[in-house]
Amino acid sequence: MPELTEVEHVRRIVHKTLLGIKIASVSAKEDSIVFPGVEGGEIESKLTGRSIVDTKRWGKYYVLIMDKGPNIVGHLGMTGWIEITHKKPIDGKEKEMACECRMCLRKDPKHVWPPRFWKLQLTFETPDSHITLAYDDARRLGRIRLVDGDPMKELPISKLGFDPLHNLPELPEFTQMVQRRAVPIKALLLDQSFSAGVGNWVADEVLWHAKIHPGHYTNVLTDEECEAIHEKLSYVCRVAAEVDADSSKFPDNWLFLHRWGKGKVWRKDQCFYCGDPKTT
């Protein structure tokens, strides 16, 4: 599932590419699961002619602030993603200039447009080209909502906890928040009402670097252990965001590079934390 750093990458692409450009047309498939409480035709009528004036993110939710009318609040779910393609008319035909879909980013020759499982397409017109944003979701576990008012103060975002990239509490407050609970520390980090946007790989990476067992109960963590978790939570989220969640650019000593068959296999004679030969 995309976690806060992947969603931040998506937000940055939209912010860089689409800000201030009018939406010329909208296509939305009828899907009451992906679009809770709103029909495809209503989405098309409410978004056509609008412009994105700002983008935000909180936890795993991205927010597209529109110039008027409802704003878009989206969650990528397990397999959702936002794909963007640029086309320019040349000699009466449209030529693809750039595409930031997952197939192109992965250099997959089986590129198709629009994505096979698209649910929403927004087409933006400029004087010399048009750009299409498509939301693609094979498993239909993502959500797109139209929210009136300030989406950062409305559900579902209003029920979330702190965002490690935006407002990680200072260490004394963080320590108190952790120690007053009595749950496994990984379970607490995964609780979106505690730390918004932290998912499985981020939680594991944080605890790996902090050298804390995921099942260690929070109410018996020492102040020093809480400080290590606080430091590594900031570190992991910041570094991953700085490289646009591109795992090929993660530091070599990150656990992520050795999970799910990635990278070399750890041997019993290696240190679990650094990979160096064990001395004892």
* Cα(125)–Cα(137) distance, integer angstroms: 24
The active-site residue, picked from 2, 115, 151, 164, is 2
The active-site residue, picked from 46, 60, 119, 186, is 60
Indicate if 60 belongs to the active site: yes
DSSP per residue, 74-111: EE-TTT-EEEEEEEEEETTEEEEEEE-SHHHHTT-S--
* Distance of alpha carbon 170 from the chain centroid: 24
* Cα(1)–Cα(84) distance, integer angstroms: 20
Q: DSSP 3-state assignment of 63?
A: strand
* Cα(45)–Cα(21) distance, integer angstroms: 17
Rg of the chain (C-alpha set):
21
Q: Rounded to the nearest 5°, which phi and psi values hold at 260?
A: 55, 35
The answer to whether 210 touches 229, Cβ cutoff 8 Å, is: yes
The active-site residue, picked from 3, 8, 83, 225, is 3
Q: Going by C-beta distance under 8 Å and a sequence separation of 6 or more, which residues neighbour residue 269?
A: 277, 278
Q: Which residues are catalytic?
A: 2-3, 60
